[in-house]
Amino acid sequence: MVIAVDFDGTLFEEAYPEVGAPKWNIINYCKHRKAMGDTLILWTCRARKRLKMAIRACKEVGLEFDYINNHTKESLKRYGRARRGCKILADVYIDDKAINPKELDNDLFQNS
């Protein structure tokens, strides 16, 4: 399974442009999935110096990624070269700003 994980507000508390406190439940979940053989992608809007800060913070808590803001070799082989800014292909996206469409559907029906 390929898991794309956001940084700010997801792996670490929101503190942009700085790095917030670690969110251990998500970090430990990601470490567990990687140990189970899943592929992890750090999927963040951070760039240059701020991206290096994020990568360093992850390494300091023992979390390493297979890819950083990039597609897996398998998805590139299957779908061809990705354009800059193209959505990262993953089986699961972990992001503090996400809404599960199933939950949204339930909420819409309950409030109708």
How many Å is the Cα radius of gyration of the chain?
15
pLDDT of residue 99: 83
Burial class (CB in 10 A: 0-12, 13-18, 19+), 6: buried
pTM of the predicted model over 0.75: yes
C-beta of residue 65 within 8 angstroms of C-beta of residue 41:
yes
pLDDT of residue 88: 86
pLDDT of residue 101: 81
Question: What is the tens place of the pLDDT at every residue in 3-40?
Answer: 999 999 999 999 999 999 999 999 999 999 999 999 99
pLDDT of residue 49: 97
